[in-house]
Structures are given as structure tokens and as C-alpha cells.
Amino acid sequence: MTTSEMTGRPDGVVLGITDFREESKGERHSLIGAKDFYVYYGDSAAVDSVSFDIPEGLVTAVIGPSGCGKSTFLRAINRMNDLIPSCHVRGELALEGQDLYSPQVDVVSLRRMVGMVFQKPNPFPKSIFDNIAYGPKIHGVTNRRQIGEIVEKSLKQAALWEEVKDRLDDNALGLSGGQQQRMCIARAIAVNPKVLLMDEPASALDPRSTSRIEDLISELRGEYTIVIVTHNMQQAARVSDLTAFFYEGKLIEFGETKQIFTKPGEKQTEDYITGRFG
Amino acid sequence: MELKTRKMLDRSFTTIGIFAILLMAVSLVILLQPIIWRGAGAFIFRETIENRKLNLEIFGRGNRANVEVQVTEAEAARKPVYDMMAEFEREMEEGGPSFRRQYRSEYSELRDMISELLGPFPGEGDPVLIRDRYGHTRWDRANVKLHRILFVEEYDYSDPNRMGVKVEKPRADLFESTSIEPLFGYLEENLERMMLPSVTFYWRFLFDRSYDAHFFGGIWPEMLGTFYLALGAMLFAVPLGIVTAMYLAEYAGEGRFVSLLRTCISSLAGVPSIVFGLFGLAFFINTMKIANGKSVLAGSLTLAFLVLPTVIRASEEAILAVPRTYKEASMSLGAGKWHTIISVILPAALPGILTSIIISLGRAAGETAPIIFTAAVSVGRPLAIWQTLSQPSPALSWNIYNLATEHEAVDEIRHVQYGMVLTLVAMVLLLNLAAIIIRARISRKLRG
């Protein structure tokens, strides 16, 4: 990875792929593509032969009952599952046509392109500034002024700037839960990713903080490709353009959110959405 | 369970807890009280004119004019003693062989004792040992000596059914109706005039080196030795321990080899310290030959091995206690494993790691057995840093033992021993306090 790639907008060649963001304004171009993709924990398949394309610039919700493999699928996209020793994959999962699991892929640059927000806010026990600056620093930004700008911009994007601008040096653990989660979003976008993965980002928060997070997701739509896993069906309906329904590791249905929630094509989807199981 | 029973149980547990804490506090007070009280005796005591003379002549401290006036005063008070002795010697000379035979050994014993109490007789040359050049420097010891001059210890075996009973007979009885008999009364009455005791605060006890095998002076080389040994041990044990803990917690996984490794580390923690001492002698000195004989370096390495298991286990626990979410967050931002450990996990684990360092530091400073064969000598000069690589040093822990058991005049230097104990305890407490303050500061920063 060269310095210019680390510092600037990721418009250059990253992962050996050209960025199509600017050219593809009109039609939606597929950014993440899964083809016959499996994730195993030991011998059991948590994600079972999943194939679908996630388009660029939209918000895609992944819903399904607990244990359906939706989180596992999400964590496969930035290879966080690598941390689990028994986990391995089969099939193809590609980002901009590049197979994420091919040996040439540099996990570090992949994770820089694919940011993640976790279920529980997980700030580092450092200052707010250091939390946001952590990512850019890893990727080689050393200029203090530049880091300051990135921190400010990220916090503004995460709609947190006004609340914390006077106490950037305070420990991030002193923020409220909702603020912490928005700070984690700011931290994720500080490295300028293309994709933001959100693993039930509001499930540990109170209703007001939840709605702020949802507003934030809507604001970030277009700028980033967002994949959000959620238990909350209303949330999926409110924030997403597309919805994928997972059940027992399989992708049951994938389509526009409006269509999924009004005229689901599959019986299982309908049962789940109407609350008959799950 | 009924509410009443539950409440009662709660209350009894609280009571037991408070009781345990109180018990500990009381034992601490009971333990520390004599250490402080007796240890203070090395710093604050009543010195005699002999001590002032010694300070002036050996260390060049004190007001020469004042001391000379006092010496003249004391000599005037002592003159009758020497006169009476001269008188008695003349009497022995003239008294014939049987008279001489009767008193010779008793008188020679008395003469030696008086010389110990008051210093060499006027007109005698300077003895080699400093302790022989002066009388008793401490008023409390002078009184003990006086008592021994005044009374002879004897055992009464007259009752065959009982053990011998110690009785004290006035020594004056031995010299009944001779010219020296009044000497004892004179000594008893005029000791204060002969010794001129006054309270002194000898804070230099910490920073003087010892003279004449700890009879005089202070414990600076010992303090410095302990400091070097403990810090040296930490210098080796802490980096090694943290890296090992990091490997075990983050890289090792759960293989058979790793579990064997863990078992080895645990057993290492249970090895008696004297075995570590022998290991240090055999390995560092005899095999590696890191120095020509004992050295502070060898001692530090041995102590490092002793505390290594503690550092490893506690640091590993601390690292494992860091929330997984920190690691996930760091990795998701594209940090590598190494970078995550260095910049997120280690800082978060630092309070726990510091705790392990605090425990080990106290242990390294206080351990005696590992340094007996590797680093400690009973008397030595204060070492400069580079000399620790090749030279042995006295150290508080070893010298406390040495003074208590192996010194030729245990009773005379008891106060030095207590002073050392107090200093060692204070040193360990201070080192711990520093580490605790640092730890508190870091935890506060981490908690936000």
C-alpha cells in the first residue's frame, strides 16, 4: 500500500480495482457480489450457498431470525471471521469483482475499504480524538493538521461534532451510549471506506439514540454503500433501499425493501415479517 | 429460604468480612510497630561523647571546639577511675605472689571491660579496629556494659533437682577491701558525667557507608545494592514477561506444547527460592561465567527468573481481561494483529500488568536466598552502575540475615539490623506506592 492510497480519497487503484463511484451515478452498479458462497464453523455451514449482488451507494438491510447467518455473512465481507480459528469459507465473495478470499488480498487494505460498526459501541479507552485518529494513523497519515481535519470531518459526518468539539481530549468512554455509537461510525468513516457494515448498530441503544442513528444512516446513504444487519423490521423498512431475508444460512429472498415488506415473494419471508416466527 | 434467613446470612457475611479486615489491620499494626519503633533506634538515639569524638575524627563532622571542651570534661570525670586502677595495680605489685594470683584474672577482665566502655586507656596507642579506638557510642549500650561491670553472672546449682538459676553477684565483692572497691560505686554514680549522653538524629544512617563491619556508619551500599538488584530483576523480567504473556494470550492457541509450556511456568512459580539461587550460581556464574564470581548482574538475572512466572501469569490475565471488542474494533479499522496488541490491548492491560510488577518488585527487593550465592556480600562499597556488571554488593535482605546471625557482635549492632529492616520495608512500600500511583493514574485515564 502506498502513501497516496492511504491519505487521499480512495479514488485510485485499491485492491487492484478501479473505483467506479463517479461514473455509475445513473445506474446502480454492483459492488459486492456473492456467488454460491458458504461460511463454515467447523463442519456446519452458517452461510449456505448464498448468491446475490449488493449495489453501490444504497442501503441494504439483512434481516432474519437469530442464528440465520446474517451476521456471519456481514463479517465475511471484511473478513472479520478470520479471527475465529474454526471458520472457513467456500465459493466466491467479491468486492468490485475481486475475490476477497484469494490469497493476493491484503486484509488490511480490504478492511480499510470496508468499515464496520458493531452491535455494542466499542470505543477504545482513549480520547475521542485518538479514537477517530486511530484508523488514519494506521494507514500512514502522520501530519497532525491533516489528522485534525479528518477527525473534524468524520465527526461532522457522524453528526457528533457539535456535541463533542469542545472535549475531543476527553475519554470516549465518558460519552453516552448513543454518542459512543455515532463516534464509532465516525471512526469507521475516518479511513474513508467504500462500504460500511453495520451489525445491529442500534440494538443496544434507547429509542431516541436509535432514531438518531437511523437519521445518520439516511444521511450517509449515497456516500457509502451500507449493509446493515438488523433484528428490527421497522428499522429495516425505514432505512434501507434493499432487503435480504436470511433463514437457516440460506438467502430466501432479496429485493427492494418496499416490495419485501408489502408483497413478499416467499411464504417464509411473509411469515417472518408478519411475526409468525423468529 | 425465608427473607429473615437471607438477611441474617447477609449480615453475618458482612460481619465476617469486616472482622477479617480488622484482623488484618491489627496484625499489620502489631507487625509494623516494633519494626518502626526499633528501626527508629538506628536514626534517633542518645549518643555519648565517644560518638561525637568518632564523628569528628573519622567523618570530620561536628564542632571541634565544642567536642574538645566536652572531651576535657569527660576526661576529668574519668580521671578518678584511672587513678583507682593505677592505685590497685601498685597494690598488686606490692601485695606479693599470692595476692597477685588471687586478683590477676579478675582484674584483667575488669580492665578489658572498662576499656570497652570508656575506650583505650590514656597513653595507649591507637588500636587497629575503629571499635577499639572508642568507648561505647550509644548510651543504651553503655548502660548495658556498666551493668556487666557491676555484676557478675553466675549460675546457682545448689538444688540438684532444678536447672541452674542465674544469679547476679556484685563484682565489687570480688575485690572486697582492696583499693579498687570504690571504683564500682564511682562508675555507677558518674557514668553520665563520663559519657555526656545527648539525643542525636543520625539521618546519615541511610547515606553513610559502614565502617568496621557495621559497628559504625550507615547502610548506603546495602540500599544501593537492593535497589540495583530489584530494578535489574525488573529490567529483565518485565519485558520478557510481557512478551511471553502476549504470545501466550494472543498467538499461542491451545496446542499440547502450549499447555505444557503453561504447566512449566506454573511449576516455576512454585520452586523454592533457594533452588533459584543455586541455579543462578550454577548457570550464570559457573557455566555462563558472566563475571568473575558473584555479581549484581548475576543476582538480578536470578531474581528475574524468580519473578518471571508471576509477571507472565498476571500479565496474561490482564491481557485476556481486555474486552474482545477493542480487538475487533482495531482489526476492523485495518490494524494488523501486532499493531492492535501494541496500541490497543497493551495500554488497556497496563493497570493489570503494573499490578504484577508491583508484586514482583516487592518480592525481588525482599528475597534473600537467590542472592546468597549470586550477588550478596556482607560488607562492601557503594557500586556505580557499571560496576554492577562485574561486582557483588551488599543488599539489605542478605545483610539483615547476616547481622542477625553471623555477625561477631550481634548484640552491639542490633540497632543497625533493625534500621535495615525499617529501611527495607520503607523502600518496598515506597516503590509500591509509586507503582500504585502510576497505576491509578492510568486506570483513571482509561476509564474516562
pLDDT of residue A4: 42
Amino acid at A174: G
B356, pLDDT greater than 90: no
Q: What percent of chain B has pLDDT over 90?
A: 64
Whether residues A108 and B328 touch (CB distance < 8 A) is answered with no
* Residue A16, pLDDT score: 36
The percent of residues above 70 in pLDDT, for chain B, comes to 100
Is the confidence at residue A9, as pLDDT, over 60? no
Q: Can you tell me the distance from the alpha carbon of B316 to that of B319, in angstroms, rounded to the nearest whole number?
A: 5
Smallest Cβ–Cβ distance between B331 and the set A80, A174, A187 belongs to A80
- Rounded to a whole number of angstroms, the distance from the CA of B246 to the nearest CA of chain A is 16
φ and ψ of B183, to 5 deg? -55, -40
Q: Is residue A1 predicted with pLDDT exceeding 80?
A: no
Q: Does B331 touch chain A (CB under 8 A)?
A: yes
The DSSP annotation for B411-429 comes to: TTTHHHHHHHHHHHHHHHH
Alpha-carbon span B347 to B242, nearest angstrom: 12
For residue B180, the SS3 value is coil
Residue A25's pLDDT is 41
Q: Do the beta carbons of residue B179 and residue B171 sit within 8 Å?
A: no
CA B77-B80-B83 angle, to 5 degrees, is 140
Residue B291 is predicted with a pLDDT of: 87
Q: Is residue A17 part of a domain?
A: no
CB within 8 A of B32, min separation 6: which ones?
A: B425
A8 or A161: which leads in pLDDT: A161
pLDDT on residue B243: 94
Return d(Cα A190, Cα B114) in angstroms, integer. 88
Q: What is the Rg, in whole angstroms, of the alpha carbon atoms belonging to chain A? A: 18
Does any domain span residue A103?
A: yes
Terminal C-alpha separation, chain A: 44
Encode pLDDT of B209-223 as tens digits.
988 888 888 999 999
User: Does the structure show a pLDDT above 90 at B84?
Assistant: yes
Tell me the pLDDT tens digit for each residue of B109-140: 999 999 999 999 888 878 888 888 899 999 99
Q: Indicate whether A22 pLDDT > 50.
A: no
Percent of chain A residues topping a pLDDT of 90: 46
Q: Which of B324, B333, B339 to mutate to test the interface with A (most CBs of A within 10 A)?
A: B333
Please return the burial class of B273, using the count of CB atoms within 10 Å of its CB with bins 0-12, 13-18 and 19+: middle
Residue A19 lies in a domain: no
Mark yes or no for CB contact B333/A188 under 8 Å: yes
Q: What's the confidence (pLDDT) of residue B142?
A: 94
pLDDT for res A84: 84
Q: Report the candidate in A74, A193, A176, A164 with the shortest Cα–Cα distance to residue A123.
A: A176
Please give the backbone phi and psi of residue A178, each rounded to the nearest 5 degrees, phi first: -65, -40
Residue B254 forms contact with A (CB below 8 Å): no
Residue A15 within any structural domain of the chain: no
Nearest partner of B277 among B249, B255, B298, judged by Cα = B298
Query: CA-to-CA distance for B91 and B235, rounded, in angstroms?
Result: 71
Does the structure's ipTM exceed the value 0.85? no
Task: Look at residue B35 and tell me whether its pLDDT is greater than 70.
Answer: yes
How large is the average pLDDT for residues A35-44?
91
Chain A: give the shortest CA distance to residue B350, in Å.
Answer: 12
| CB burial of residue B211 (10 Å; 0-12, 13-18, 19+) | middle
User: In this complex, is the C-beta atom of B253 within 8 Å of any C-beta atom belonging to chain A?
Assistant: yes
Using DSSP, state whether B21 is helix, strand or coil: helix
Query: Are B241 and B356 within 8 A, CB to CB?
Result: yes
Q: Is B124 left (phi over 0), alpha (psi -120 to 50) or beta?
A: beta
> Length of chain B in residues, anyone?
448
DSSP A195: E
Other residues' Cβ atoms within 10 Å of the Cβ of residue B24: 10
Residues A145, A149, A150, A155: is their CA dihedral positive or negative?
positive
Residue A23 has pLDDT above 60, yes or no: no
Min Cα–Cα distance to chain A from B140, Å: 59
Q: What would the mean pLDDT of B44-70 be, rounded to a whole number?
A: 92
Q: Do A115 and B333 touch (CB under 8 A)?
A: yes
Higher-confidence position of B261 and A17: B261
- CB contact A6 to B (< 8 Å): no
Contact A187 B253 (CB under 8 A): no
CB A193 within 8 A of CB A139: no
Instruction: Sort B443 into a burial class: Cβ within 10 Å, 0-12 / 13-18 / 19+.
Output: middle
- Min distance A121 CA to chain B CA atoms (Å): 9
Q: How far apart are CA B269 and CA B274, in angstroms?
A: 13
Q: Cell triple for residue A10?
A: 480512495
Give B386's DSSP letter. Answer: G
Which helix (H) or strand (E) segment holds residue A256: the answer is strand A250-256
Mean pLDDT score, A2-24: 40
A141-153: buried (b, 16+ CB within 10 Å) or exposed (e) per residue?
Answer: beeeeebeebbbb
Nearest by CB to A135, from B334, B336, B447: name it.
B334
SS3 A149: helix
The answer to whether B110 touches B155, Cβ cutoff 8 Å, is no
Judged against a pLDDT cut of 50, whether residue A18 lies above it is answered with no
pLDDT of residue B127: 87
**Banded model confidence at residue A6, pLDDT cuts 50, 70, 90:** very low
Tell me the C-alpha distance between A83 and B337, whole Å: 10
* Facing A139 at nearest CB: one of B325, B331, B334: B334
Mean pLDDT for A200-226 is 90
The predicted structure's pLDDT at residue A134: 94
Q: What is the span of the domain harbouring residue A232?
A: 3-8+29-273
Answer yes or no: is pLDDT of A7 > 80.
no
In chain B, the domains with their CATH numbers are: 48-198 (no CATH), 220-447 (1.10.3720.10)
Rounded to a whole number of angstroms, the distance between the first and last alpha carbons of chain B is 41
CB A112 within 8 A of CB A191: yes
- The pTM for the full model equals 0.81
| Contact between residue B100 and residue B91 where contact means Cβ atoms under 8 Å apart | no
Nearest CB among A83, A126, A191 relative to B333 is that of A191
| φ/ψ (deg, to 5) at B418 | -65, -35
Among B285, B287, B273, smallest CA distance to B375 is for B285
Domain count, chain A: 1
CB A115 within 8 A of CB B333: yes
- Cα-based distances in Å from A277 to A39, B153, B337: 24, 100, 40
C-alpha atoms less than 13 angstroms from C-alpha of A60 in its C-beta half-sphere? 27
Per-residue pLDDT band at B447 (split at 50, 70, 90): confident
Cα angle for residues B54, B59, B61 (degrees, 5° grid): 85
- Residue of chain A whose Cα is closest to the Cα of B323: A122
Closest residue to A124, CB basis, from B334, B339, B344: B344
Q: Enter the C-alpha cell of residue B309.
A: 512466572
A21 within domain boundaries? no
What integer pLDDT is reported at residue A278 of this predicted model? 56
Specify the pLDDT at position A3.
40
**Cα–Cα distances in Å, from B235 out to A48, B62, B374?**
53, 42, 17
A115 touches chain B (CB under 8 A): yes
Task: Identify whether A238 is part of a domain.
Answer: yes
Cell 586507656 belongs to B121
A113: its cell numbers: 475499504
Give the pLDDT confidence score for residue B448 in this predicted structure.
61
Tell me how crowded residue B87 is: count the other CB atoms within 10 A of its CB. 15
| Whether the predicted pLDDT of B411 surpasses 60 | yes
Q: Which grid cell sits at A27?
A: 445506474
Half-sphere exposure of B13 (CA within 13 A, CB side): 6
**Out of B253, B329, B336, whose CB is closest to A124?**
B329
CA distance A154 to A128: 12
Predicted local distance difference test score (pLDDT) of residue B154: 86
pLDDT at A265: 87
Q: Check B332 against A111: CB less than 8 A apart.
A: yes
Kindly tell me the sign of the dihedral angle through the C-alpha atoms of A199, A217, A161, A108. positive
**Digit-coded pLDDT (tens) for B4-30:** 999 999 999 999 999 999 999 999 999
pLDDT digits (tens, 9 = 90+) for A223-254: 899 999 998 888 999 999 999 999 988 999 99
Nearest residue in B to A85, CA atom: B253
Q: What is the pLDDT of residues A131-189, one digit of tens each?
A: 999 999 988 888 999 999 999 999 998 889 999 999 999 999 999 999 999 999 999 99
- Cell numbers representing residue B27 in the block: 496484625
pLDDT at residue number A8: 41
Cβ distance A108 to B334 less than 8 Å, yes or no, reads yes
Is residue B431 a contact partner of residue B363, using CB atoms and an 8 Å limit? no
Element (H or E) spanning A72, and its range? helix A70-77
Distance (Å, rounded) from C-alpha B370 to C-alpha A9? 60
Q: Which residue of B has its CA nearest to A112?
A: B334
At residue A28 the predicted structure's pLDDT band, cuts being 50, 70 and 90, is low
Asked, for residue A243, whether it belongs to a domain, the answer is yes
- Whole-number average pLDDT of chain A: 85
pLDDT, greater one: A151 or A3: A151
- What is the Rg, in whole angstroms, of the alpha carbon atoms belonging to chain B? 31
CATH number of the domain that residue A158 is part of: 3.40.50.300
A78·B332 Cβ contact <8 A:
yes
Q: What is the pLDDT of residues A55-81, one digit of tens each?
A: 998 999 999 888 888 899 999 998 988
Q: Which three cell numbers stand for residue B378?
A: 556482607
